[in-house]
A and B are shown apart, each in its own frame.
Chain A
Amino acid sequence: MSSYHTIVIGSGPGGYVCAIRLAQLGHKVAIVEKYDRLGGTCLNVGCIPSKALLDTSEKYHQAQHEFAHHGISIKEASLDWKNVMGRVQKDVVQKTCDGIQFLMKKNKITVHHGHGSFVDANTIKVTKSDGSSEEIKGDKIIIATGSKPSSLPGIAIDKERIITSTEALSLKELPKKMIIIGGGVIGVELGQVYARFGTEVTIVEYAPRLIPTMDADLGKELAKVLIRQGIKINLGSMVKKVERKGKSSVEVTFEKEGKEETLKADYCLVCVGRRAYTENLNLEKLSIATDKAGRIEVTNNLSLPNYSHIFAIGDVVRGAMLAHKAEEEGVFVAEVISGEKPHMNYNLIPGVVYTWPEVASVGKTQEELKKDNIPFKSGSFPFKASGRARASNESDGFIRVYAHKETDEILGVHMIGPRCADMIAEAVVAMEFRASAEDIARICHAHPTYTESLKEAAMAATSNRAIHA
């Protein structure tokens, strides 16, 4: 039986990053992956392919609708669906996953392909796809098995016409009509992908606004842009029924403002969140309990309460279901195991929506500040006042900075606009060092850039003295 210092179950961004950090710190590490390709949801059926499709659809949309505004005329942009999906799978997903394979080799991490489950507290059974199995031993075990798309009661996912994000990233055809249940991050991203490709998209969201966990005005601004792009949005709508009608169509019935409505489409995409994937790990054997969402309870150093040598990271534990949060936890656990004392600042994990305009935020939302009775001031700057944004015809969106009323410390930064996904990093760095709004306002930003808008918003927050607004 092979034995290791640490066995990591799951090769997503949490698991593989953890394995590499452990190897860097001198440990003998094995990683167990159920699928043939490493990388987990993020690389195979999540972040990476969705960003590839977002980018393709963005370019197509620009060719169709934006080029003319720039004075570029093309005859007619057309879409070759097979090549669209071919690029995503071969050029993007396969190459990224190969990269992980290479990193495992480089760091001398043993990869065991097969489904991992606990035999006892130190033994993992790896069941391969051909049914054969082997057992491996580890002094430490890390559960990094991630999550799967979840559904609502009464909605049966058939993976053909009633689908989840996983299927939506590898459809054989371009849907004509698509109803998306859920206006959260995944729903709006995929909704925009298909809308830009030409699909008639309708979003049905239960909450009164899109991306409801983020600062309220971001959802409102995003809805404005999406509606302009032709997406129909039904907010405050409760889905009653999703029915397959014949071979190639579905019907979705929902209640909005007390009235029932039924819509027909050829696809229904269910984006109502994700559920921790902890089934079949044989956790019952060790009496490890999971909560309603399938998550495992962990201590502050991410070990299990009753097993100090077993750790859990990423989507299987509390906190945001984000790849970068899982990565941070992976590094954290690897260092804790090695006797170091890293720290994680859960308040400063940025959230990003990769629509265009992009949405990004870090720190407290206005709602949270009010709820916690923290005295704050706010400053906003619209991209339509940014020279750089105008040059690119990107004037949707704004940046908002919340700062403490007395100390001026930045408490939250929320932005929607061009390249916000990248720009949020500046806010995270500043907040990690507890910068004040005035600090940002006094730091030189290159001109003309989008990042000047953060500086302007910071000036507005400091003492309402934005220069360009």
Chain B
Amino acid sequence: MSSKELVKVPSVGESIAEVTIASWVKKSGDFVKQDEILCELESDKATVELPSPFTGVLTILSPEGETVPIGHAVADVDTSATAGASASSAATAPVEAPKAETKQEAQTNYAQGHPSPAAKKIMDEKNISQVTGSGVGGRVTKEDALKASSSSPAPKAPAIKAEPGSIRREKMTSLRKTISKRLVEAKNTTAMLTTFNEVDMSAVMKMRSKYKEQFKEKHQIGLGFMSLFTKAASMALMEFPAVNAQIDGTDLVFHDYVDMGIAVSAPKGLVVPVVRNSQDLSLAGIEREIARLAAKARDNKISIDDMQGGTFTITNGGVFGSMLSTPIINIPQSAILGMHNIVERPTAVNGEVVIRPIMYLALSYDHRIIDGRESVSFLKKVKELIEDPARMLLEV
């Protein structure tokens, strides 16, 4: 007797409703042990591995590339099978299930995923390679293809102008879809505007070059500007709590700590890991946290936990050479600090024109919760702390 246990997609974090099956590590018919990794799931925010909850022979129910809701059964494991058993020997078990039930079991059928002629045309045009078929034996019906294509928002090019081969279409990754949804939501649901200031980097640059070697020797990590800005922003946030607050319905939620989101460019897109309690961390502590999280992001190992709960975000467009930009708030946060490149500019100091390394700073904020006085004062505070880093030490 075969006894099949379903492998369901576990909850991978709050507010995540669906995941995409990035790749199957095991294949149908494989004998898998409990806790062996079956497949990689890609969610809005991260890639997670799905370990097998059971020991037995695996049958995959959802192919690679398919997007499934949390709780969906993506595979089953025949726990009655023993090591060495293959799919075919499992099928010849003495008591066979009646035919009518085979549909539910959704055994791999040669016609599974075979599109109808109309479905095939839709899939080719939308460049969708895999659609879960709802038809008999997993066949892809026209409706299946239409549904799958309606999630790819690119409108059909006007018939007359389009030339075959002149465009390339690919399906948005789950991450990209989320980024797109979030950014538009931020634009649409907040009263966002941006205030600017400039900061003279002479003092911190001087300090950095003076103590660079010693810092590295002592803390086993390099001293960068990111930790200085994180520190400065954390201090400023404690002084202007509205900038560190959030709107929740009709309530305002204030935080007496700073969980600093740091925007990092990862291979699959932008991710924002969080440095916890940055107000209490030393510069070296901040640097170490950033280095650890950035490495995880680069290797696609970043977890949902690493990214949840930020209260404020810093993004550094300067690494790509940006002079000035208006960043978009990482909702539900209320403000984001944009760093930019450092350029030597002629500046008036004590009535004289001198050349100074200058960085423009931008603060985008939700005007519903943050008043102009607070936002401008916050940014001015960051500027003062960076221009005179001794103030960070003295907390003034």
User: When the two chains form their complex, are residues B111 and A343 in contact, meaning their CB atoms are under 8 A apart?
Assistant: no
Q: Verify if B164 is at the interface (C-beta below 8 Å from A).
A: yes
When distances are taken between beta carbons in the complex, the residues of chain A under 8 Å from B136 are 439
When distances are taken between beta carbons in the complex, the residues of chain B under 8 Å from A436 are 111
Kindly report which residue of chain A lies nearest to residue B139, judged by CB atoms.
Answer: A433
Task: Contacts A339-B164, A340-B125, A341-B124 given; indicate if A434 touches B159 (C-beta within 8 A).
Answer: no
When distances are taken between beta carbons in the complex, the residues of chain B under 8 Å from A340 are 121, 125, 159
Task: Contacts A407-B110, A432-B116, A434-B139 given; indicate if A338 touches B159 (C-beta within 8 A).
Answer: yes
Measured between alpha carbons, how far is A202 from B164 in the docked complex, in Å?
A: 52
Partner of B157, one of A25, A336, A339: A339
Partner of B117, one of A26, A343, A409, A435: A343
Q: Verify if B252 is at the interface (C-beta below 8 Å from A).
A: no
When distances are taken between beta carbons in the complex, the residues of chain A under 8 Å from B120 are 343
Closest chain B CB from A110 CB (angstroms): 18
In B279-295, the 8 Å CB interface with A consists of: none
Contact with B along A287-313 (1 / 0, CB 8 A): 000000000000001000000000000
Q: Verify if B160 is at the interface (C-beta below 8 Å from A).
A: yes
When distances are taken between beta carbons in the complex, the residues of chain B under 8 Å from A404 are 110
Task: Contacts A343-B121, A343-B124, A434-B139 given; indicate if A338 touches B116 (C-beta within 8 A).
Answer: no
Task: Contacts A434-B114, A439-B136 given; indicate if A341 touches B125 (C-beta within 8 A).
Answer: yes
Q: Verify if A87 is at the interface (C-beta below 8 Å from B).
A: no
Contact with A along B91-122 (1 / 0, CB 8 A): 00000000000000000001100101100110
Q: Verify if B163 is at the interface (C-beta below 8 Å from A).
A: yes
Kindly report which residue of chain B lies nearest to residue A348, judged by CB atoms.
Answer: B117
User: When the two chains form their complex, are residues B164 and A336 in contact, meaning their CB atoms are under 8 A apart?
Assistant: yes
Q: Verify if B162 is at the interface (C-beta below 8 Å from A).
A: yes
In A307-363, the 8 Å CB interface with B consists of: 336, 338-343, 345
When distances are taken between beta carbons in the complex, the residues of chain A under 8 Å from B111 are 409, 433-436
Partner of B114, one of A336, A339, A433: A433
Measured between alpha carbons, how far is A393 from B110 in the docked complex, in Å?
A: 41
Task: Contacts A433-B116, A439-B136 given; indicate if A409 touches B110 (C-beta within 8 A).
Answer: yes
When distances are taken between beta carbons in the complex, the residues of chain A under 8 Å from B116 are 432-433
Interface of A, secondary structure class, is loop
Measured between alpha carbons, how far is A301 from B114 in the docked complex, in Å?
A: 22
Task: Contacts A433-B116, A434-B139, A439-B136 given; indicate if A339 touches B163 (C-beta within 8 A).
Answer: yes
Measured between alpha carbons, how far is A336 from B161 in the docked complex, in Å?
A: 12
Task: Contacts A339-B164, A343-B120, A434-B110 given; indicate if A26 touches B125 (C-beta within 8 A).
Answer: no
Kindly report which residue of chain B lies nearest to residue A435, judged by CB atoms.
Answer: B111
When distances are taken between beta carbons in the complex, the residues of chain B under 8 Å from A341 are 121, 124-125, 164
When distances are taken between beta carbons in the complex, the residues of chain A under 8 Å from B157 are 339
Kindly report which residue of chain A lies nearest to residue B161, judged by CB atoms.
Answer: A339
**Number of inter-chain CB pairs below 8 Å:** 49
Closest chain A CB from B146 CB (angstroms): 15
When distances are taken between beta carbons in the complex, the residues of chain B under 8 Å from A409 are 110-111
Measured between alpha carbons, how far is A345 from B120 in the docked complex, in Å?
A: 11
Name, among A27, A339, A432, the residue most crowded by chain B CB atoms within 10 Å (CB to CB).
A339
Name, among B111, B120, B125, B164, the residue most crowded by chain A CB atoms within 10 Å (CB to CB).
B164
In B11-63, the 8 Å CB interface with A consists of: none
Task: Contacts A340-B121, A342-B121, A432-B117 given; indicate if A26 touches B110 (C-beta within 8 A).
Answer: no
When distances are taken between beta carbons in the complex, the residues of chain A under 8 Å from B139 are 433-434
Q: How large is the interface on A (under 10, 10 to 19, 20 to 34, 35 or more residues)?
A: 20 to 34
Kindly report which residue of chain B lies nearest to residue A339, judged by CB atoms.
Answer: B162
User: When the two chains form their complex, are residues A338 and B160 in contact, meaning their CB atoms are under 8 A apart?
Assistant: yes
Closest chain B CB from A234 CB (angstroms): 43
When distances are taken between beta carbons in the complex, the residues of chain B under 8 Å from A432 are 116-117
In B131-176, the 8 Å CB interface with A consists of: 135-136, 139, 157, 159-164
Measured between alpha carbons, how far is A5 from B136 in the docked complex, in Å?
A: 43
Closest chain A CB from B154 CB (angstroms): 13
Contact with B along A433-450 (1 / 0, CB 8 A): 111100100000000000
When distances are taken between beta carbons in the complex, the residues of chain B under 8 Å from A339 are 157, 159, 161-164
Contact with B along A21-41 (1 / 0, CB 8 A): 000011100000000000000
Measured between alpha carbons, how far is A25 from B156 in the docked complex, in Å?
A: 13
Kindly report which residue of chain A lies nearest to residue B110, judged by CB atoms.
Answer: A407
Measured between alpha carbons, how far is A432 from B111 in the docked complex, in Å?
A: 11
When distances are taken between beta carbons in the complex, the residues of chain B under 8 Å from A345 are 117
User: When the two chains form their complex, are residues A26 and B164 in contact, meaning their CB atoms are under 8 A apart?
Assistant: no
Kindly report which residue of chain B lies nearest to residue A5, judged by CB atoms.
Answer: B160
User: When the two chains form their complex, are residues B160 and A27 in contact, meaning their CB atoms are under 8 A apart?
Assistant: yes
When distances are taken between beta carbons in the complex, the residues of chain B under 8 Å from A434 are 110-111, 114, 139
Measured between alpha carbons, how far is A116 from B128 in the docked complex, in Å?
A: 41
Measured between alpha carbons, how far is A197 from B117 in the docked complex, in Å?
A: 43
When distances are taken between beta carbons in the complex, the residues of chain B under 8 Å from A26 are 159-160
Name, among A336, A338, A404, A439, the residue most crowded by chain B CB atoms within 10 Å (CB to CB).
A338
Kindly report which residue of chain A lies nearest to residue B125, judged by CB atoms.
Answer: A341
Kindly report which residue of chain A lies nearest to residue B162, judged by CB atoms.
Answer: A339
Measured between alpha carbons, how far is A383 from B162 in the docked complex, in Å?
A: 52
Measured between alpha carbons, how far is A336 from B139 in the docked complex, in Å?
A: 25
Partner of A338, one of B110, B121, B162: B162
Kindly report which residue of chain A lies nearest to residue B109, judged by CB atoms.
Answer: A407
Measured between alpha carbons, how far is A408 from B139 in the docked complex, in Å?
A: 16
When distances are taken between beta carbons in the complex, the residues of chain B under 8 Å from A342 are 121, 124
In A397-450, the 8 Å CB interface with B consists of: 404, 407, 409, 432-436, 439
Closest chain B CB from A19 CB (angstroms): 16
Measured between alpha carbons, how far is A342 from B125 in the docked complex, in Å?
A: 8
Kindly report which residue of chain A lies nearest to residue B156, judged by CB atoms.
Answer: A339
User: When the two chains form their complex, are residues A301 and B110 in contact, meaning their CB atoms are under 8 A apart?
Assistant: no
Closest chain A CB from B28 CB (angstroms): 16
Closest chain A CB from B170 CB (angstroms): 15
Closest chain A CB from B204 CB (angstroms): 55
When distances are taken between beta carbons in the complex, the residues of chain A under 8 Å from B162 are 338-339
When distances are taken between beta carbons in the complex, the residues of chain A under 8 Å from B114 are 433-434
In B309-328, the 8 Å CB interface with A consists of: none
Measured between alpha carbons, how far is A345 from B114 in the docked complex, in Å?
A: 13
Measured between alpha carbons, how far is A301 from B164 in the docked complex, in Å?
A: 10
When distances are taken between beta carbons in the complex, the residues of chain A under 8 Å from B117 are 343, 345, 432
Measured between alpha carbons, how far is A378 from B161 in the docked complex, in Å?
A: 50
Measured between alpha carbons, how far is A43 from B157 in the docked complex, in Å?
A: 37
Measured between alpha carbons, how far is A338 from B157 in the docked complex, in Å?
A: 10
Kindly report which residue of chain B lies nearest to residue A432, judged by CB atoms.
Answer: B117
Measured between alpha carbons, how far is A178 from B163 in the docked complex, in Å?
A: 53
Query: Given known contacts A26-B159, A434-B114, what 10 new A-B pairs fall within 8 Å (CB)?
Result: A27-B160, A301-B164, A338-B159, A338-B160, A338-B162, A340-B125, A341-B164, A343-B117, A409-B111, A434-B111
Q: List 22 A-B contacts (CB under 8 A).
A: A301-B164, A336-B164, A339-B157, A339-B159, A339-B161, A339-B162, A339-B164, A340-B121, A340-B159, A341-B121, A341-B124, A341-B125, A343-B120, A343-B121, A343-B124, A404-B110, A407-B110, A433-B111, A433-B116, A434-B139, A435-B111, A439-B136
Chain A interface residues (CB < 8 Å from chain B): 5, 25-27, 301, 336, 338-343, 345, 404, 407, 409, 432-436, 439
Q: Shortest 9 CB-CB distances between A and B: which pairs?
A: A339-B162, A341-B124, A434-B111, A338-B159, A407-B110, A341-B125, A434-B114, A25-B159, A343-B120
